[in-house]
Structure 1
Amino acid sequence: MHPFPIQRRRFAIGAAVAAAAVACPALRAQGKLEKSSISMAVGGKAAFYYLPLTISEQLGYFKAEGLEVEISDFAGGARALQAVLGGSADVCSGAFEHTINLQSKGQFFQSFVLQGRAPQIAIGISNKTLPDFKSLADLKGRRIGVSAPGSSTNMVANLVLSRAGIQPGDVSFIGVGTSAGALTALRSGQIDAMSNTDPVMTMLEQKGDVRIIADTRTLKGTQDVFGGAMPAACLYAPLEFIRKNPNTTQALANAIVHGLKWLQTAGPGDIIKTVPESYLLGDRALYLASFSKIREAISPNGLVPEEGPKTALKALSSFDATVKADRIDLAKLYTNEFALRAGEKFKA
């Protein structure tokens, strides 16, 4: 491959970092942390959706930045968000689209480092309770499992159903989490379909428990469902927190980007050694099969793609009447300043 495109990319990133330093003088040189103890909320930490967070935590990258991060795990992203809104957590590791929902209600939160560039969510139909499934219309009146009502798994389900004319009220959404409880809910017949993340969905798929009908675990699948790049897991916080704590925010972004850099070259054995044993759900081979499937969905550098927020807004506004596209300021949803500087530090 000719070297010039790479050189141009490096120049572009360097220029962007310089521009960020001008726009935000506090980022020119990272000074003393305004806040060294951080409480973080996450919804379903064992899912691959949040693998970069787990890697950064397990490998000590937060501590390397001078941070003590206490992570509270909830059943889904919507519940994690409630912890931040309620003041019991400073930062949320959650889905990018929550920043849109919040802004539509007059609450300004901002994503400052991306973990996933695809939602990594698949929708599967239970072969036990719906063996004769033919179309989405068959889901009317049925029970659909999601990590938690209002979470990104719920959002993807709403989007796919809306294209078949099915409204959220036409089905029953049931929170099942993102780990062993989700497997049990589907296999026992408590739900008829499920919108969830890996490793859960790959495990159900490979054991013949579900038939996948929509899949955003790959970049191509994400393009098929959303029509463009869709930013997924990220660290986001109230805009006021970011403005008051730029050095702390930078340290958090550094830790995540450090984890993303490690993931670029990590092998299956490295992943198994690093994540907690409970995350494997009792099947190492299937866990690694799941990792292979979603690997390209992990962000390589923590940057939100320029077209991503537009894709997310278009998706949300297509089925949620409370989200008015013309009233959302896309520029306030995210900043790449912190991830750019972290990328310079770790050559990500």
Structure 2
Amino acid sequence: LMMLVQFFLIGFEFLILLNIYFLFSFLRYINSFISHSGNLPEGSRRKARDKLLLRLQDHIVDINAIVRSRVLQLWTRLARNFQIPLAFINGGLIRDACSRLIDKSINVRKNAAIFLTAVLQYNPFGPSDALFFALEMEKCLSTILRSIASSQASELAEIIGFIVETNKFSIRNSENAVREFFRAIWRYDSAAKEIIIKAAADLFISANKNREICAKKTAENLIRIILNVPEEERISVEEVYFVRGTVADLSKCIIDSSINVANLSKFFFSELSKKVCYRLLWISKYKQADSLVEKLCQRLQSTTSQLVFIFFKLLYSYFKNRISDNKIFKFYKVL
């Protein structure tokens, strides 16, 4: 009986490998049928190509996880070469890939996120015909948010990469998704934190070589993400700012020679300090306020410009505590 079971398992693995081999053979044939733009005139070649692609699309929901994962890799390769016809992008391919974002296999979930990111990066749509595509991506965004809390560090990079791309393309609700994955900053896993910090840098820090434009754009990005943030998400957003060091770098812009850059930086710190002051309103014990102010001073003692501005705002908060005020004035005088 054991020999029969082993023989069955070997045969099953052989069938899986054979299936994967046929899939890669499909890709070679598809490349011969598809032009660079992904379009072919009506005729037998186009029909043959569509049949092959339909078969490839069916394997996205194959019963075997290895096959599902490999198929998504093939679709990613086609997307990066602009070889997916528009009829497939609008005809259920995005929906099928989106369903794999909550697959039971980690590799399938990772490859689904990679494929959707590639479709976004290499999408062939212009402003006039991208509405349906944007709606499909919005659905994918809502699906992927459900998996962030339970996702492992090994797949977090792909998930966050997709969210970052949706934010770059201004997909609706992408900013809420950014704030959502910021919550993972509280994980004990250092690898997850590093992924989030890199994503934050990619999102907020402008790559413009002009110093004034770079500072202005960075400040605008930071302001946009922190405005109207719900209280339960503010702590996570601020923590990402502080860990990344973006706030410390931006604090130097308060005394920038450019009035526009300085004003933008001051506005950002004004909004940030309001969040800190708002939290002070919920403190009912002096010891809690005393501890908060002390931690704030210790955390930010190396960023002079930022401390000056936040202390200034704290002095005008509704919460007044003589012990806390004394600590604020003490650090303020040192500066």
Q: Which has the higher helix share?
A: 2
TM-score bracket, shorter-length normalisation: under 0.3
Q: Which has the higher strand share?
A: 1
TM-score, normalised relative to structure 1? 0.21
TM-score, normalised relative to structure 2? 0.22
* Larger of the two Rg values belongs to structure: 2
